[in-house]
Chain A
């Protein structure tokens, strides 16, 4: 199989993401940072706390700071990425650029995979920068390097991105099939909110390792299902000729 067309699509979608997705990314970083800064801002220890009480307070804050990191990654990637994926797909269909792409022999699956990959790559880099700034900020407050534990590092750099990738895949397929359907708007506005609420709730539970493993497995299954479904999307649906005239 010639991978040239796929990488051409990915490169083009990365350029389009950077060109059109700046506002989505900026707003998501701002929102997520505001949330994540809460434990940072509460780091100064109340003056009346001494000894064991102060140590317990500090331990609780450290745990909260660590636990914020996957959320930070998840929020930035999902809130920004979902809207960018849907935006890229909708633009491709409504501006009739999808037709020449499909006429070149490229499959709807390749178009879907390229968009999801491009948005994932861009938002992942943004997350790396955001996490770097977050850790840097805490280290400044702590007056020493304050690295997260391995568990939270994996959750931030692997699990949260996988959850985001799964949501990109689902949204990409739905918008490819039904650009103008009313439920697409509902899905786009509600899904990050619902997903993040569930995620936040689950993070409060114990057995994080098992939770992260299960989450990752579910996400991989969702991504595989999306991949299979993308292969079944009819070209006439993907092209937009049925709904965009």
Chain B
């Protein structure tokens, strides 16, 4: 058992309760498997030929610019939209045709909370609990547990309309956990939360994945959150899957990495320019402040080689920071490459 500062007591999974309800889904190697998945809306191709696999128990991030097709992909996985091409298997079941079985084992948090504002928090959870097939008693017990762990117990009889955005988001997450799902599909679950709730929600997502083997597909615009939480990242751009790998592989996949060098007082830019131009492996560099230069190093070149070259050129340094490649660099580069390919 784990006690969380905001979500409180999180019970260990033990025997997954969902199997007790007999959802009929087998433990597949992949929680999600899409094969050439595509969807058109009239002339617009919202999603094209997306093939990806999300291994069971993994926490996978889904990123992409606005209109990249993230929500379309999520709607296809939930069986809300029908694919124009290909198919989506969720927990081994076809999402389009076996949506009842899929629904009984998948929890969903969408960017719009989708709660009944006229009902109280407790009524919302009881209602959805019964929709998930729980008995009234079981739904009541689970709702009490989740309201306590979400820090909403004292406000359980208040209408949701009176809740703050963060509280609604926490309630939506609690709703998604009502039936002990084996797969959580979350679209922007952390947006709009205050720092404390943000941290608590991220910890909860991590714990669910680590301790309870819940597979999580997390769509977010916050690359820092994705980088922190997810083991693998899928990048969508203009409806196409442009990259899908582990975060570390993606970060190493770029041809250059960066270091940022701050010069000691009195060092001339001209001499630094001369030295940097003479070092093999420096792909390019740019001055980002009067005394700071960002150096792009070719793949396989370490920062020590650049620093040695500067030392040999009698350049004194005040500070050196390894910039590496952030997920943002990878994301922007992947999206740019896709744009260039489309223009070409």
Contacts and interface: CB of A to CB of B under 8 A. Distances in A.
A109 interface: no
Looking at chain A's contact residues, is the secondary structure mostly helix, strand, loop, or mixed? helix
Given A5-B131, A103-B108, A105-B101, A236 B114 contact: no
A76 B117 CA distance: 28
B110 A100 contact: yes
Among B106, B123, B127, max chain A CB count under 10 A is at B127
A96 B116 contact: no
Contacts of B103: 102-106
Chain B binding surface, main DSSP class: loop
B97 to A, nearest CB: 11
Contacts of B130: 4-5, 7-8
Contacts of B128: 100, 104
Contact of B80 (A4, A12, A20, A102): A102
Contacts of B80: 99, 102-103, 235-236, 239, 241
Contacts of B117: 95
A105 B110 contact: no
B35 interface: no
B131 A97 contact: no
A107 B110 CA distance: 19
B313 interface: no
Interface string B69-90: 0000001001111100000000
Given A95-B114, A97-B114, A235-B80, A4 B133 contact: yes
Q: What size tier do the contact residues of chain B reach?
A: 20 to 34
Interface string B128-141: 10111111000000
Nearest to A102: B80
Nearest to B105: A105
A20 B118 contact: yes
A101 interface: yes
A97 B106 contact: no
B204 to A, nearest CB: 19
A87 to B, nearest CB: 13
Interface centre among A4, A8, A104, A107 (most CB of B within 10 A): A104
Interface in B88-122: 99-104, 106, 108, 110, 112, 114-119
Interface string A1-34: 0101101110110011001100000000000000
A44 interface: no
A231 interface: no
Question: Which 3 pairs show the lowest CB-CB distances between chains A and B?
Answer: A105-B103, A8-B130, A105-B100
